[in-house]
Amino acid sequence: MRRAAEASYVVIAWLFLAAVITQFFLAGLGTFGAKTFEPHKDFSGAFHLLALLVLLLAIFVRRNRTDVILAVVLFVIVTVQFSLPEARDDAPGVAALHVVNALFIWIVGYHLAMRALVARVRGGLSPPPAADTPQQP
């Protein structure tokens, strides 16, 4: 079960990055081609769910402190992302941070995904067994 969760962590982290690219595309489509931003808004629920899954899996598979902190930061900045466009009428400068925050989301998500992939390639995400634990041949 733990190995499946570790593999899921890597997959979800990379799916999250794919979701970021999708969100950028949908925002661009809303700006340059479509008549509405509705697809961009509608996809945000799946986007938020992926951020939550990254956080929960980071905790469940007992990632190191750095990865758990990055996962918490990712979930928080994704959550903040939803409220930024709402400030459009009262504080357009704050609403404009929606795009800047999206870049931070990409950066944090990329670091999490790369750290997960590197850990997986190097032999798994689980910590090595304790020194006094007998090794099986």
The whole-number mean pLDDT for each consecutive block of 10 residues of the chain, a chain of 137 residues, reads 81 92 85 79 83 91 88 94 86 88 94 89 59 55
| pTM over the 0.75 mark | yes
How far apart, in whole angstroms, are the C-alpha atoms of residue 42 and residue 6? 29
Query: CA-based diameter of the chain, in Å?
Result: 66
Measuring CA to CA, which residue among 125, 13, 27 is closest to residue 74? Answer: 13
How far apart, in whole angstroms, are the C-alpha atoms of residue 1 and residue 64? 19
